[in-house]
Amino acid sequence: MIAYVTVGADDMARAKRFYSAFLPALGYALEEGLAGLSYALPEQPGQSVSLPEFYVKPTFDGRPATAGNGAMIAFEARSQKQVRDLHATALAAGGLDEGQPGFRASYGPHFYVGYLRDPQGNKIALFSSDPTEPGRDG
């Protein structure tokens, strides 16, 4: 199981504006400290494993942060509408569009996804795959 994911950022204020625009709507709480931003999902009663946390930090070596070529972080939304809403919210908070929300032919018929780049260039996906919602073919 993945315990956490970390992305680097050179401008914490811009990163906070971007990620705080949509992660709280997905249930993540922000803890801000000297080492950067930590977003975590709340633990549920009886939960046997910790859910992955998401960190935005300055680089350890002090060199500029860079986005990974081929790396992408996907966050699951509750519905197709939430994907659309959060994609628009993230764009307004400084993100760059990498693909408007919708269905993609190469994925399953219920996989609804929108793609973004954060202010540092990291690729982010917001998706829903709820089989009770209309699918690509229907």
121: domain CATH number? 3.10.180.10
> Which of 138, 137, 135, 97 is CA-nearest to residue 114?
97
Task: Please count the structural domains in the chain.
Answer: 1
Structure tokens at 124: 């982010």
What's the pTM value of the predicted model, to 2 decimals?
0.91
Is residue 95, in this structure, part of any structural domain at all?
yes
Confidence of residue 1 (pLDDT cuts 50, 70, 90): confident
The SS3 of residue 33 is strand
Q: Per the domain annotation, does 136 fall within a domain?
A: no
User: What is the extent of the structural domain holding 97?
Assistant: 4-42+51-58+67-128
Asked, for residue 10, whether it belongs to a domain, the answer is yes
Residue 135, domain member (yes or no): no
Residue 33 lies inside a defined structural domain of this protein = yes
Q: What is the mean pLDDT of residues 9-31?
A: 97
Burial bucket for residue 55 (CB in 10 Å: 0-12, 13-18, 19+) = middle
In a domain, 137, yes or no: no
pLDDT, tens only, 43-100: 888 877 788 999 999 999 999 999 998 999 999 999 999 999 999 999 999 999 999 9
Report residue 8 as tokens: 């680097």
